[in-house]
Amino acid sequence: MTLHRPILSRNGLDKMHWSQRLRERKEWEKAIHYEGLQGRKVVPHPRPAQIRIRSYRKRFLDYDNFVGGCKPLLDALKHLNLIVDDTPDWIEVDYHQEKAFSQPSTKIEITWEESPRTHGKEK
């Protein structure tokens, strides 16, 4: 799914009041629901997921600032039941930034493992 929302930097998120960070997560939820899912209902996937996040932007963030800025997006995916949890037991995330020559956007690809799990990764 491609969303017309830029990922904010971790530094920018850290300077926000908690209510603004909550609003940021809710804005991601709206974007995912209306732009990405086009209003369709979400069927919960009780399986670990691999997520690829591509941010198209004019100026790159340093890696840790970019990864930290993805937190509201991951929280929104969890809140919408697209992922079980945002812990390493349930998701593996691949982060990329690419140069955008027009409007900044974010592309999210989610693939789920074949077999469902009820608790964390198998040992």
* Predicted confidence (pLDDT) per residue in 68-123, tens digit: 999 999 999 999 888 889 899 999 999 999 998 888 999 999 998 876 665 555 54
Q: Is pLDDT larger for residue 5 or for residue 116?
A: 5
CATH of domain 2-39+48-112: 3.30.1330
Sheet holding 49-57, edge to edge: 2-3, 105-112, 49-57, 91-99
- For 105, the token pair is 């956007």
Kindly report the CA angle at 55 between 53 and 56, in degrees rounded to 5?
145
Element (H, E) at 91: strand 91-99
* Predicted confidence (pLDDT) per residue in 26-78, tens digit: 999 998 888 877 777 777 778 899 999 999 999 999 999 999 999 999 999 99
Number of Cβ within 10 Å of residue 90's Cβ equals 18
Domain locations in the chain as residue ranges? 2-39+48-112
